[in-house]
Structures are given as structure tokens and as C-alpha cells.
Structure 1
Amino acid sequence: MKRTGNFCHWYFFPTAALCCFLLISTFLWSTVAHAQDVTSIKGIVRSSKGELLSGVTVQVKGSKYITQTDRDGEYLINPVPVNITLSFSRLGYKTLTLDLGLLPMRENVQDVELVPEVQSLDEINITEKFSGSNFKIIEPDKFSAYPSASGSFENLIKNMPGVSANNELSSQYSVRGGNFDENLLYLNDIEIFRPLSVSKGQQESLGFVNPDMATHVKFSAGGFEARYGDKLSSVLDVRYSRPDSLSLEASASLLGSSATLKVPLKNSYILAGVRIKKNQDLLERQNLAGNYSSKFSDYQLLYRQNFTPKLNVSLFGNYNRGELNVVPGQRETEFGTSDEVLKLFVNYDGVETTEFKSAIGAVTFAYNFSNSASIKWISSITGIDEHENTDLLGWYTFDERDGLSPGNGGSLLGRGSQYDFAKNKLNTLIYNTELRSYKQYKKSFLELGIRLQHDQINDDIEEYIGLDSTAYSRPPSANWRYSDVITQQNDVTIRRINGFFQNTVSISPYLTFAVGVRANLNSFTRELLISPRFSLMYYPDNSDGLLLRFSAGSYSQAPYYRELRNFNGSINPNALSQQSYQLLSGIDRKFDGLGTRLKFSSEIYYKFLTRLTPYKTEDLKVRYFADQESKGYAAGVDLSLSGNFAKDLESTFRLSLMKTEEDIKDDWYFITGGSGLPNNIVRPGYLKRPSDQRVNLGILFQDRLLQNPTYKVHLNLLFASALPTGPSGSQRYEDVFKIPPYKRADIGFSKDFADPDSRKILPFIKKYFQSLSAHAEIFNLLNNKNTASYLWLKDVGAVQYAVPNYLTFRKFNFRIIARLKTR
């Protein structure tokens, strides 16, 4: 199916549109006339821990010259007198004042560090800092201490309040009742798109974020501002920025390796990173024995050049590839209860291959008209190729025995064969270009943006399942029956235009609010969607000890592609955009207790959901009922407590309670009446959504050995309650089965041999290494059998059974991380 639409004629001339927008922005905002540029000064403002600080007020004392640092922590004042007193101030940090004598008619550079008013918390910072919004700050350089089976930075997000986790192999996550398709990811204001066809965690490549290149990461579980795009659940905002000094870092483990190079130059800098992962050792411990061959790699490069004090250009490139070949041998799965043990045994013949490749190229032009007005032009192209090939025949027996004793007899419940065939290919090409303008006033900050996007998606689907439940035979034969037969080719083209306006106003030192609106139009649904958003931040005592937050807004998500595709592969031409109306209130409080400085955070939220597209989740595969529509809600509360219980090591405890349901429009089914009784029509009403995980509990505990504090322990505990599920292809009201609760314990031990607090440092290490750490890790410490999904089988009496597909079992890993000295 090919779907295009008539659109605004000027949309096809993006250059003309951008030029018009640039002229308007210049006319309205470039109001500062430069008479005589005596000199100029610029720099970067960081915290004492090296994180970039945005929103720092930089002012020349006794003059009108004032500006604020941008999202990269950078500031520029031009012109300024030669002899000045410069002050740097930000809420929660001590004001810094410098007396400077500058060189005339030259570009002067002054980088500074601000010290917090209260000693901040260190190490794996799942700490929420007051950023004047509903975002929580995560320090990426602390990821190295986090024990993670997948090796993806996104797994750290699963420790955040409001985030649900039930698959350690995947970097995908659901937030406050949403699904995997409802989360935004940005790098330096570039929206990142990921593959769509991943159906199992073992197929997934490395997550996008390279923690060794990142300098600043923010995460919002809802209530985010209008500057962020058009999805329903969350935003992960990542910044790659200028490094302090030349740096070379490398790591190696039993599951992969990585290397990162950071090169600061006079008027430019380079960041380059490579990551490799091979997880066949992890996969071979699953209940499906076979030959696993996996190759996952990720390459990223960022180059920024400052041509003048006002103009800079950034180039970003990324290539990500994941390949998994599985030649299964045998599968043996026991499940059931202690009184009724069920056993599935399968012999396989065939192969399953998946390959995902994505490439991203982006260029960003940034220009400062003055100290308080600037623009940014961002253009990117993303290409994604996804291939799934399955040619797999399995002969199975399904039986039961009484009790766990091996000597107990049993009975055969069924035997037969299943043939799985798939030859699917999905190609995605996305172009977009965006212009953003910024204007700083004395007590407000204006942002305006417009973006054009072109999506081209080509999907070739050929798949089916063959069943022979009577004997062992090879297809084709008279005994074989085929189901889930899909032969479909879809070519979908969608053009999109969206924009936003936002104003952040500081009414007083105690009160700040942000108000904005987004507009979205696309050629498929032809809807004009307007999304107003508002947030309020109140500091009752003008300090960072207590913060009250409130947010309200509308969020609209136009269909991308998966939401358009039915179970049979066809496209729904009448699809609509999903919408969410959100209310959120939160309290952040810092106080002294338990011998340390503690931070308590709480949020309560309610989301009214309308025009939803119902879906089912099978492991990581989200399949939509594209021709159905529902309304629903999600409501819950998130609580977290964090503090340093050992020197420079932060521990975090979080609890999330959530409920989400939906009512599918016009759904009903028959209940057959008894002898002489009429049939009854049942309308199911509100159903648990596939993401209805009522309880999520996470504990990240870190400590030091008393006798030798340079040895550290990092313990991560996760508990997530049961999820609703049902047979593949069944209707939503039939999802009355449950995936058991997810229970996970990972532990890591680390030692930095270059730690200044070490009793003895070898001369070789002291001379060449800034740090050299060893990490011993045990994944799934308690060896819990966590279920990813189910294989559905019927016995000879047509009774259906759910056979669990288990996730990974206990695994030991060892890592070495080295940071070389460069001076």
C-alpha cells in the first residue's frame, strides 16, 4: 500500500520557509546594535564535578551587559570593557566574582567552576537535581560502576521513578503506563530514531547513548515542556559537549569492549567512540540450547568548529549494527506447580537470522546575534535497514508428571511439529530540518522552533506458521495447517511539520513558570494538533532545600509506522493521532538524616488518554490493533530517597505505584447460553493495558569495605509486578493470563588501582593512568527464572498451555577500564 497526501505547497520548499523564518527572527530579536567592540569574553561554566551548567547568570558588574549560559554551559558577552568585574550566579551554587583585565580587540576565554551551596552527592547519580523543570539529572560518567548485562546506558534509566523494567537484555523501557514507542530521545537537540522490528531482547544491539562521550543527561517521565516533541510518555535528553582536556579511555570485558577519544583544540573539538558487544556467552545459558553468533557494534563521531565568536558548526555521525544468527538444537522447559510439573521438549532443524543497521548524519549551525539572541539550524538524515529471516522446523513432545520426583509417572499431552517461516525486510529513511531561535530577557527566556520532516518507509512482509499436531512429518503434507499467513508490501510516505513556542519566566527568586504550545500537522492523518503545556516551580525558602512543582499539558502522538500496521500487515488509512492530557504535582526535599544529606522526591500524576490504538506486547514486539480505538487513563505515584551512606557513593531507593486501563470502542463478544437459553452479549469495558505493572521497586546500594575503602560494592535490585498477557493473535479482552513478577539482583565489585586513597600505587600505573579499575560482576545473582514471553501450545484435548520463554540465568563478568594520562 502506498499512502501520500496533498500538503501545504510551501512545505516542498523548506529552504524558502527557513529563510522566511530567519528573516522574521532577525527582524524581531536582533535589537542590539554594536557600536564599538572593545573586546569580547566567552567560556564554559561547570559544576565542581564537571557537569555543564545551563541557566547561569553571567553579568558585568555595574553595567547592562548580562547573559545566561546555554544548554552546553557556554556563554558569550560581546562587547565588554577591557577591565571588568564578572559575576556568575545560579540557584543552589555559590556566586563567583572575578576581577579581569582583558586583551583589547581579541577573544578572551574564561572557564569557571561553581561550587554547590551544600555538598552534592557523588558516584552513580540517579539523583534528581533541581533543574527548574520535571527533569532528573543522571551523570553519565558514573555508568562504569553500574552492573548491567546488556551494557547499554539506557538500562540505568530503568532505575528512575516511573520506569518499568522486565528485560535485562533490552535498552527499551516503558514509562507510566506507556509502551516502547512513546519515548523521545534527543542528542544535542537532534531527535534519534531506532529500529522497529526488534522482537526479542537477544536481537537488540547496543543502545544509542555512549556514556563515555556524554557530558550531561536529563530524563523526564512526563510533564515535559513544549520544546520537546510529540510523544506521550518520556524524554531522554543527552548532550555531547567540549571536553576539558585530551582524553583516551578503553574498556574490555567478557561481553564486549569500547574505546573513546576526546580531543579539545583551540577553536574546535572532536569526540569519537566505538563500542563492541558479543553476548553469545550470555545467551547460551538460556533454556534454548544451540549455536549463537552475535555481532553488535556502534560507532559515533562529533566534530565542532567555532569559525567566529558568533558562528559554530557541529557535525555528528553514527553507525550502529546488530547481527544475531541462531542455529537452535534442543529446548527443554519445565514449568507448572510442584504438584503438576509440565515439560516441553523440542528438537530443532533450521536457522534464525536477524540484522539491524542504522546510520545517522547531522549538521548543526549556531549563530549568536548578540549576548541575548541566537539561532540554531539543525538538519539530519536517518537510514535504518532491518532484516528478519527464519526457516525453522521443530518437533515437540509435551507431557506431564505427578510431582517433582523423577520417578513419578506421567502422561503425554501432545506431540507434533511446528514450522516457522519469515522473510521480512523494513527500510526507513527520515529527513528533517529544524530552525530554533532563542531570546534572553531580564526575567524571561523565549524559545521558538519550526521543523519539517519527510518519512519514507518500505515494508516487505512474508511469514507464516505451520502446525502438525498429529505426527512427526515435514511440510508440506496433508496433516499441516497454516496460520498467521502474511504476504504484504507497504510503501508509506508521511510529511510532517511541527513547531513550538515557549517562554520561561522568573517572577521572583522563589517562583518560576514555563508556558508553551506545540503545533503538529502531518500528511497521513491530516490533523492539526495543538498542544498547550504549562509548568510551575516554587522554592518556598529561596533555596534548594525544598521545591514544589506542578505541570499540566496536552501531548499528541501522530502515527509513525507501527501504529498503522494491523496484525495481518495491512495499513489502516483512517488512523488518528493518540492524545494524552496530563496533570502532575511533585515535591523535592533535601534534609539531614541517617548521618548524611538525604534527598526525597515524590510525584503524583494522572493521564487521561484518548484516541488510543490498542496493542499487544510479545516480548519486545509491539503489535497494534490498528483498526481499533480506545480511551483510557494512567494514574500513579513515584517516590525516591537517595543519599551518601559511604564516602562519595550514593545509594537510591525508589517505589512506583501505577494503574492503567483502557476501554476499546465497540468491542464485545458472545457467551453461548445453555440448553434453551439465549446467547448473551458481553461488553468488556475497561481492560488492563499491556503495560499495567502495578508495583515497581528499585534499590541501588553502594558501599566500601571498612578495612580497605578503595574496594567498592554496587548492588542493584529490581522488582516489577506481574503484567497481563494472552495468546498471540487473540483479542485484548482475552488477555487474562499474567507474566510473573520480574525479580532481578545484580552485584558488582570494583577497585581503582590509581585511586589517590590507595595505600600503594604501582609506579607504572601512577605514571601512565589517570584511573585503572577492575570490575567483577555477577548478573542475576539469585538465578531467578524471569519470563520474557510465552509459547502457546494446545494438547490433544484442545486445552491451551503457556510455555514460558525464560530470560538469562546467572552469569559472571569481568571488566577492566583504563583512562590514560595525556599530560
Structure 2
Amino acid sequence: MLEILKLFLQRFIVNNNIILKKLLLALLFPSLIFAQQMSTVKGKIVNKFNDPIEGVAISYLDKGTTTDENGNYQFQIPIRKTVPVTFSHVSYKTIFKKFTTRGKRTINFSPTLVIKTEELEEIIIKNRKKEAQGVTKIDLQKVETVVGPNAGVEAVLMTLPGVSNNNELSTQYNVRGGNFDENLVYVNGIEVYRPFLIRSGQQEGLSFINPHLIQNIDFSAGGFQAKYGDRLSSVLDITYRKPTKAATQIDLSLLGGSATTEGLLFNDKLSAILGVRYRDNSLFVNSKQTEVNFRPNFTDVQTYLSYTLNEKVSIGFLGNFSLNNYNYKPLTRRTRFGTIANPLELIVFYDGQEADTFQTLFGALSVDYQATDDLKITATASSFNTQEEEYFDIAAIYNLGEVNTNAGSENFGEVEFAQGIGSQLNHARNDLDALISNVQLRATLKDNDNEWRAGVRFQTENIKDRIREWEVIDSVGFSVRPPHHNINNNQPYEPFTGPIQPFQSVRAQNEVDINRLSGFLQFSRKTTWSDHEVWFNAGIRGQYWSVSPQGGSSKSHVIISPRAQFAIKPDWKKDMLFRLSGGFYAQPPFYKELRGFDGQINPEVEAQKSIHAVLGNDYSFNLWNRPFKLTTELYYKHLTDVNAYSIDNVRIRYRADNVTEAYAYGLDVRLNGEFVPGSDSWVSFGYLKTEENIANRGYIARPTDQRIKLGILFQDYVPNLPDLKAYLNLVYNTGVPGGAPAYADPYDFQNRLEDYRRADIGVSYVFVDANKKATNKFLNQFEELTAGLELFNIFDIRNSITNTWVRDVYSKQQFAIPNFMTGRILNFKLRMKF
């Protein structure tokens, strides 16, 4: 049949019947014509080590494909047409290639991709040094992309093992059994502070750290060097960057926005960066069960200037202004809790309001002098001022009742019997003004593989504090007496004729001056032992301080804190590093730790002391031809002269007596690597146990006894659409002790809050960035343009941070009603960079 057709065509060709020839070719051989229209492009993509690269995204003609695990790819393009093709990968520089063919053929194209960071070898060396020091280096990209109600550095930290916080509205964190006040935070080598009177996460506002100004982030969860200050738990060391060119970045979302501008002035001698942030927490507050008239807003302005005077001297200035306005007027609350068989419901009607203001100013001037290639001297002067007002008068009338569970009843789901009826009135007029100033001198001397560091600092603190705070409680028409009242209260069976007294009352007025002189000296050396690399560090720091309360006698104290670290990288085929660190750590009391439950200052309070021992291992390996690292740390802390405390939301109140001893031990494990090719993610697990013995009454769990911690920070992208990226932040924490009234004896209440579970997810699309050039005139205006959606608390889990305690005089019972945190919330984000 085919031969007959060929003869038929030849006859018509000889007769020059061109029209009929074309018609028959189109009808009889359409598949042959189509095949002739396409060419094949294939190849293998490798790096400079000739290793295949999996997951390279290949985009062409609104289509796409990716390389397989061997780096191979293949796709087809039409002939007689120029086709631009993009080869992109998260870890490598993007390349562009145009293909044109005149006929059907196969094109072999096997490029070698260049790693984005040209100085990879240098960075590996630096990271190895950080690993030896027990320091975790946080990737800036994680800070920029992490999803959470308080996105930024702290949100990334809370996915690490040993770091926890059950309050998504707070940026504060606990580390290995310590509390919020036990963490050091440095920006450009300068210690920074937070407001004092904040008692809830809703009041905190913005973290001091502006994530858009950062160049480097180092974090140590324990066993840190002597060059860092006198705290018991952790160190977060932030370095702000020096701009190298002019740029502006704007971030907008339903929660607020930020603008960052940077550039060079005066013949590139002055580098300047300025960041302005604004945040409105109404989106979160409106998702809670308490109906309020509430619009909290927080403003922050930061700048970092660096001026190069000459090749040896440079001058830096770090400035910050922040203003938190917290105006809160609750209206009603309706909370249902209990069990399915016995549900209870609390209904509250409020009157009154709370008006709080937290204003802080911070400024630091530093001079760096590079005396020689090996000697650097830095002098710094800084001052921090916070002015805080906490004013509220809030009355509440409540009804606690049993819910009808009879499905056939007309009143199903309604409250049918009141178990507790009452009211309460809370009042506060609290003012605080604190001024903290210091000067310090530091020097670093390098001698081949040896390094010496030394420093001295003098600091003055002046704190003026006035406390006027009380609470009156009424239950079924009877005033509830204070918990430690020495008169028998037989209400409602017998009337009480004495005067009404507040259930809780604190009245104090303090003015305290604290002077501190501290210094350190440490030595580091990197060497070899046989064929093994060895690094060790030893140092000692000390502090002298005196506390002078107004109208009282001053009290002086001294502490000495020796510390050491040792690390070895064996000459093995497996890439492993072992380290051991520890020492004697001490935390001289700050103002909050000097102030007891009654608001009075105790200048006799000693420094809390702790012995740290940390044993760690880093194992780097390849899995699925991609890099991974497993980090494991065992730690133990023995604490003496402990200043025990209670926590209510984020408010910490100390006993100010040093009559407690405690311990903490645990295991931290983190596996990070490219679970998805080109995207670094991690899974972390932590186990912790910490207990305290108050005045020899026996060991009980500390308020921060967070037994199990699981954190996942995961990022992914669509292979055929690599500009569409997804980010997941998942945290699970077991419940901490906290199910007790703030005034209660912790030995009488050891209830735990419910486990904390939360998952946040974000999706963003990259229109323009360093790896994707603009395709039209509008996008050409941007250096970077991304837009995305964030879904907070995707499973709408109602976590609780504290309990509200309703007291019933008649039944002599107290009911714990959970204070639930935020629900599911959708947020929109837009980022522009010019």
C-alpha cells in the first residue's frame, strides 16, 4: 500500500501538480511533519568538583523540567525559533542560554554551575571555628523567610533544640531551663536591654533586633566563652552590616511594615543604614476569645553609621528609639472548657481600660583602632533609657456555669447552673524610669595560631520605680480575703465585719543606684595533635558591684567566673568534631532580681551561680548526594544561690532571697541539610529536666521545666516553578508548670499547662531577585519583588499560656480557666527592594 502511494505522488510531482502534492503530504504524513518541527536539548549539569547537581530548575517557553539525581535532563524545543532557557538552583548562580536550530537534531549542553558564594572555602573555615566554640551560626535567609507571628531572629531560635517559648506573641525565649532574664543579647558587641514592666506578650511589640540590618548571627545555648557577659543561659551575638552600595527595601503586611535604606556618603567613607518598623497587633488580638476595643501599635527606628577616618581608625554609632502604645479596653469574654462529659463555661463582662506606654532610647558610640595587623583595640560608650507607665482600672463581673449536655433538651449548649458568681477589680499605677550607662575597652591580639582577648567595663544603673497595684475579689457577694490573712474567714456562713482588704496589694517606691566593674581575659589556640586538629580556649572573668538603695546602706559583692572549651577534629574518613566546654557561671542581680514579691529592694541578694558542663558532637555527611549535619549536645547545670521566681505570661517576679538550689540536664539533637535539593531545612529534638529545692523543702519542677521539644523548619519549592516557594514552621512543646495562681505556694500547686502545638505555613512567589531578571518595564524597577501569603496556626489549635482563677466562697473551690492564645490567622506580605 505504501509503494502505491509513493508511485502516485511521483506521478504528480513529474506533472508539477504542487498543490495536490502538498495536500496529500499534509493528510497522509501529519506525524512526520510534526516530528520535523522539534529538536532535543539534553545534557548533564555538574559543579566545579564534577559532582552531579540534582534539582536544577530548567525553564523555557512557559514550561519546565528538573535534573535527576545524576544531573541529567532532556527537553524539546521547536526548530527555526530562538528559545531562551534558564538554569537555576538555590545554591548556585543562575545561567541563561539561547538555543536555535534550523532542523531536527539533538543539542548537547552540559554546563558547570558556580556556587553563589565565591568565598565558600573561607566560610567553611569560619564555620568550623564556630562549631569548635559551640556556636550555632544562623543563616540570614532563614531569618528573612521564617514564618511566624513574630518573624525574625527569635522565631528561628525557637525552632532550635533547647530553646522554647509557649507564647507566640512574645519574642522572649527560655534556654535549657533558664528564664527570659538569663539570656545575653549583643548587637555589634554592645549589650542591649528590654523594657522592665511588660507582663504580657501583647505589650512587647517589636524585638530590639531589626532583621533587615543584620550581617551575622551567632548563638550559644551554654558553655560560652569568658568574653561574653555574666548570665546563666545563652548568648545571642548580632552584627549589623556596613552597606557597600545604595539600596532601599520595603516590607508590607497586614501586621504593619518596615522600610530600610542604606548607602555610602563622603567619598564612601561613611556607610549608613536606617531601619523604620511599625507593627499593629490587632489582627492577633481580634482572634482571641476576649472581645476588646484594642489597637496596640509599636514603632521602632534604628540606625547604624560607620565612618572610616583612616586605614587604622573607624568610628561607629548605633542608635535606637522605640515606642510601644498599649491601649486596652476589654468588653466581654466567653470561654468554654472542661471535658465533653462535664463542660463548663465562663462568661465575663468588663468595664474600664488599660493604658500603657513603653518608651526606650539607646545610643552607642564605638572607636576601632587597628594598631597593627595583629592588634585591634575597641572603645565603646553606650547609654540606655527606658520610661514605662502601666496604668489600669479594670472591673470584671463573671459567671461560671455548667453547660447543658442533653442533646434532646431545648436548652442544649446553654449554661443552666451557676457554680461561681462574682466580680473583681484590678488597679495599677506603676511607673519606672531606668538609665543604664557604660564605657568599655576591648583588645584582641593574634599571634599565628594564638589569640588573646581582654576587656574591661564600667557601668552605672539608676532605677526609679513606683508601684501601686492591688486586686479586690468578690465571690457570691462576699469579699475574698488575702491568701495569707491571719483572721479566720468563715464566709458565707458567718458575716465578716472587718474592713475590706485587697486580695493582693503591692505598694512600694524605690530608687536604686548600682555600679559595676567587670573584666575578662581569655586565650585561644588552634593546633594539631598527631594528625588531629585541636582547638582550645580558656578564660576568666570577674565582676564587682555595689547596690545603693535610697535611704539604705550600700552592699558590695564580687564574683569570679573561670571558663574553658576544648574541641578536636579527628583525622578520620568521617567528618566529625567533638567538643567539651563548661566552667563556673554567675549572674549578678539586675534590678528585677533585687525586687521581691512585696516590691521592696533587698540589696543583700547575691549572684546566682551555675556550673556548666556541655559535651557535643558534629557529624557532617552526604545523604542522597546532598550535604547534611547532625549536631548532638549533652549538658548538665548545677545551680546554687538561686533566686526562685514565678511566671505569669511573660512577667517574672523574684523571691529575692537566694535560698534555692537547682539543677538542669538534657539532650539536644538537630539534623539539618538539603531535605529538598538546594533548600536547607532542619529537624530538632530536645529533652530537658530541671528542678529546684526552695529552702530545703524538697525538689519540685521549675517553672521552665519543658520536658520535650520538637521543632521543624522546612522550606521547599515547586520543581517546575522554582520561583514559587513554601516555608513551614512547626513547634511542639510539652506543658510547663504554670497551672497555679501567681501568689500560690509552688509546693501546693504543681499543675502543668497543656502541651503547646503550633504550625505556621507561608507561600511566596518571586517576581524579581538576583537570580531572576525582570521581563518587563514595570518589574525592571525592582531589584527584588516577592509576594506571599502566611497562614498562622493552620490547625487552629487553642494553646493556653496561663489560667484565670475563679474563686467561689460558698464551695471553697478555685476553678482554673485557660487563657487561650491566638487562633488561625491569614496574613499577606509584600517585599520590594530597589
TM-score, normalising length from structure 2? Answer: 0.79
- CA deviation map 1:179-209 (0-9, x unaligned): 0000000011111011111111111110011
* CA distance 1:595–1:336, change in 2 (3 Å): farther
Cα-Cα RMSD? 2.3
Question: Where do residues 224-239 of structure 1 align in structure 2 (5 Å cutoff)?
Answer: 224-239=224-239
Letter in 1 for 2:412: G
1:453 aligned onto 2:496: no
Q: Which residue does the alignment assign to 2:283?
A: 281
Task: After TM superposition, give the deviation of residue 648 of structure 1 in Å.
Answer: 3.0
Q: Secondary structure at the match of 1:696?
A: strand
Distance 1:510 1:132 in 2: 10
Letter in 2 for 1:491: E
Q: Which residue does the alignment assign to 2:435?
A: 429
- CA deviation map 1:774-805 (0-9, x unaligned): 12000010000110111111223011111111
Contact 1:341 1:404 (8 Å CA) reproduced? no
Task: After TM superposition, give the deviation of residue 244 of structure 1 in Å.
Answer: 3.1
1:613 aligned onto 2:615: no
Question: Where do residues 403-418 of structure 1 align in structure 2 (5 Å cutoff)?
Answer: 403=405, 407=412, 410-418=416-424
Task: After TM superposition, give the deviation of residue 134 of structure 1 in Å.
Answer: 1.1
Distance 1:442 1:274 in 2: 43
Distance 1:479 1:338 in 2: 42
Task: After TM superposition, give the deviation of residue 628 of structure 1 in Å.
Answer: 5.0
Letter in 2 for 1:742: Y
Question: Where do residues 280-299 of structure 1 align in structure 2 (5 Å cutoff)?
Answer: 280-299=282-301
Contact 1:610 1:630 (8 Å CA) reproduced? yes
Q: Which residue does the alignment assign to 1:123?
A: none
- CA deviation map 1:647-670 (0-9, x unaligned): 43211100000000011124xxxx
Q: Which residue does the alignment assign to 1:494?
A: 514
Please say which structure displays the higher CA radius of gyration: 2
Letter in 2 for 1:709: P
- CA deviation map 1:320-375 (0-9, x unaligned): 11111111110111111111111111111100122111110110011121111121
Question: Where do residues 443-482 of structure 1 align in structure 2 (5 Å cutoff)?
Answer: 443-471=449-477, 481-482=501-502
Q: Which residue does the alignment assign to 2:425?
A: 419
- CA deviation map 1:266-325 (0-9, x unaligned): 222101101110111210111110111111011101111111111111111101111111
Q: Secondary structure at the match of 2:307?
A: strand
Q: Secondary structure at the match of 1:738?
A: coil
Distance 1:711 1:517 in 2: 50
Task: After TM superposition, give the deviation of residue 403 of structure 1 in Å.
Answer: 3.8
Q: Which residue does the alignment assign to 2:545?
A: 522
Letter in 1 for 2:766: D
1:116 aligned onto 2:120: yes
Q: Secondary structure at the match of 2:747?
A: helix
Task: After TM superposition, give the deviation of residue 594 of structure 1 in Å.
Answer: 3.8
Q: Which residue does the alignment assign to 1:372?
A: 374
Task: After TM superposition, give the deviation of residue 249 of structure 1 in Å.
Answer: 0.6
Distance 1:213 1:493 in 2: 34
Contact 1:515 1:535 (8 Å CA) reproduced? yes
Q: Secondary structure at the match of 2:211?
A: coil
Question: Where do residues 58-457 of structure 1 align in structure 2 (5 Å cutoff)?
Answer: 115-117=119-121, 130-265=130-265, 266-401=268-403, 403=405, 407=412, 410-457=416-463
Distance 1:334 1:304 in 2: 56
* CA distance 1:629–1:235, change in 2 (3 Å): same
Letter in 1 for 2:144: S
Task: After TM superposition, give the deviation of residue 437 of structure 1 in Å.
Answer: 1.2
Distance 2:629 2:151 in 1: 28
Q: Which residue does the alignment assign to 2:759?
A: 745
* CA distance 1:775–1:113, change in 2 (3 Å): closer
- CA deviation map 1:205-245 (0-9, x unaligned): 10011111110010110010000000000000000122232
1:701 aligned onto 2:725: no
Letter in 1 for 2:642: L
Contact 1:534 1:552 (8 Å CA) reproduced? yes
* CA distance 1:377–1:529, change in 2 (3 Å): same
Q: Which residue does the alignment assign to 2:805?
A: 792
Contact 1:518 1:532 (8 Å CA) reproduced? yes
Contact 2:469 2:507 (8 Å CA) reproduced? yes
Q: Secondary structure at the match of 2:597?
A: coil
Task: After TM superposition, give the deviation of residue 481 of structure 1 in Å.
Answer: 4.7
Q: Secondary structure at the match of 1:699?
A: strand
Task: After TM superposition, give the deviation of residue 644 of structure 1 in Å.
Answer: 1.3
Q: Secondary structure at the match of 2:516?
A: strand
Percentage of matched positions with identical amino acids: 35
Task: After TM superposition, give the deviation of residue 401 of structure 1 in Å.
Answer: 2.5
Contact 2:713 2:730 (8 Å CA) reproduced? yes
Contact 1:251 1:258 (8 Å CA) reproduced? yes
Q: Which residue does the alignment assign to 1:550?
A: 580
Distance 2:308 2:121 in 1: 34
Letter in 2 for 1:750: S
Distance 2:806 2:527 in 1: 63
Distance 2:118 2:625 in 1: 26
Distance 1:173 1:137 in 2: 18
Q: Which residue does the alignment assign to 1:600?
A: 630
1:817 aligned onto 2:817: no
1:763 aligned onto 2:776: yes
Contact 1:510 1:542 (8 Å CA) reproduced? no
Counting matched residue pairs gives 684
* CA distance 1:787–1:115, change in 2 (3 Å): same
Distance 1:168 1:802 in 2: 21
* CA distance 1:785–1:694, change in 2 (3 Å): same
Task: After TM superposition, give the deviation of residue 706 of structure 1 in Å.
Answer: 3.3
Task: After TM superposition, give the deviation of residue 573 of structure 1 in Å.
Answer: 3.0
Contact 1:376 1:437 (8 Å CA) reproduced? yes
Letter in 2 for 1:510: E
Task: After TM superposition, give the deviation of residue 472 of structure 1 in Å.
Answer: 10
Letter in 2 for 1:504: S
Contact 1:710 1:755 (8 Å CA) reproduced? no
Q: Which residue does the alignment assign to 1:730?
A: 744
Q: Which 10-residue stretch deviates more, 281-290 or 167-176? A: 281-290
* CA distance 1:301–1:118, change in 2 (3 Å): closer
1:563 aligned onto 2:593: yes
* CA distance 1:472–1:774, change in 2 (3 Å): farther
Distance 1:332 1:496 in 2: 50
* CA distance 1:362–1:248, change in 2 (3 Å): same
Q: Which residue does the alignment assign to 1:54?
A: none
Distance 1:356 1:648 in 2: 43
Task: After TM superposition, give the deviation of residue 458 of structure 1 in Å.
Answer: 0.8
Distance 1:542 1:722 in 2: 42
Q: Which 10-residue stretch deviates more, 630-639 or 400-409? A: 400-409
Q: Which residue does the alignment assign to 1:691?
A: 704
Letter in 2 for 1:220: S
Task: After TM superposition, give the deviation of residue 552 of structure 1 in Å.
Answer: 1.6
Task: After TM superposition, give the deviation of residue 486 of structure 1 in Å.
Answer: 1.4
Distance 1:808 1:659 in 2: 28
Distance 1:542 1:370 in 2: 38
TM-score, normalising length from structure 1? Answer: 0.80
Task: After TM superposition, give the deviation of residue 542 of structure 1 in Å.
Answer: 8.2
Task: After TM superposition, give the deviation of residue 646 of structure 1 in Å.
Answer: 2.6
Distance 1:145 1:544 in 2: 32
Q: Which 10-residue stretch deviates more, 691-700 or 158-167? A: 158-167
Distance 1:137 1:590 in 2: 15
Distance 1:640 1:773 in 2: 30
* CA distance 1:130–1:771, change in 2 (3 Å): same
Letter in 2 for 1:503: F
Distance 2:378 2:121 in 1: 33
Q: Which residue does the alignment assign to 1:531?
A: 561
